């Protein structure tokens, strides 16, 4: 197995580029009068750039994909990724749902009415 300075330098330059891209996207939003991007668009791109940088660093800094089979490092990483996804997405799902079902400062009757109307149930 050969690890070169070139692979580190590649990872470094790519990471720098991805960080700057995410930064500029948000910086442009806060510093320009021209029509801004929508919040949803920005959040999607910031997350996408972060994930791209995660993979960049996994490959070039942590040398994933360089190990010989059986790839136990990759196996443990995949399991951790699964747990992370369940934990984060599950928490968001449950908490947003709870939040929705006890809409702020409404009586239970008002909440019921709100939800029935919101979901088009009559």
Partner 1 sequence: MKEEEMASATAESKTVFGFWVYLMTDCVLFASLFATFVVLRNNTYGGPSGQDLFSLSFVLSETIILLVSSFSIGLAWLAAREGNKRPVLSFMALTFLLGLAFLTLEIKEFNHLYQEGNSWRRSGFLSAFFTLVGTHGAHITAGLIWMATMMVLIYRRGIYATNVRRVTMLALFWHFLDVIWIFIFSIVYLMGIIG
Site of interaction with partner 1 (CB under 8 A): 3-5, 8-9, 11-12, 15-16, 19, 22-23, 26-27, 29-30, 39, 42-43, 46-47, 49-50, 53-54, 57-58, 61-62, 72-73, 76-77, 79-80, 83-84, 87-88, 90-92, 95
CA atoms within 13 A on the CB side of 31: 6
Cα R_g (the chain), whole angstroms: 22
Which residues contact residue 100 at a Cβ distance below 8 angstroms, ignoring those fewer than 6 apart? Answer: 115
Q: Nearest approach, Cβ of 122 to partner 1 (angstroms)?
A: 31
Shortest distance, position 107 Cβ to partner 1, whole Å: 22
User: Is 57 or 111 the residue whose CB approaches partner 1 more closely?
Assistant: 57
Q: Give the residue with the Cβ less far from partner 1, 15 or 111.
A: 15
Q: Please report where in the chains the tokens 């702020």 appear, as a residue.
A: 104
């Amino acid at each position: 197995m050969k690890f070169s300075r070139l692979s580190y330098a590649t990872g470094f330059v790519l990471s720098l580029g991805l960080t700057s891209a995410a930064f500029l996207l948000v910086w442009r939003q806060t510093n320009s009068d021209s029509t801004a991007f929508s919040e949803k668009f920005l959040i999607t791109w910031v997350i996408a750039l972060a994930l791209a940088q995660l993979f960049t660093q996994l490959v070039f800094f942590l040398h994933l994909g360089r190990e010989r089979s059986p790839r136990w490092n990759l196996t443990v990483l995949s399991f951790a990724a699964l747990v992370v996804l369940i934990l984060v997405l599950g928490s968001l799902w449950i908490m947003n749902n709870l939040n929705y079902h006890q809409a702020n400062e409404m009586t239970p009757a008002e909440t019921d009415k709100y939800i029935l109307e919101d979901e088009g149930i009559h």
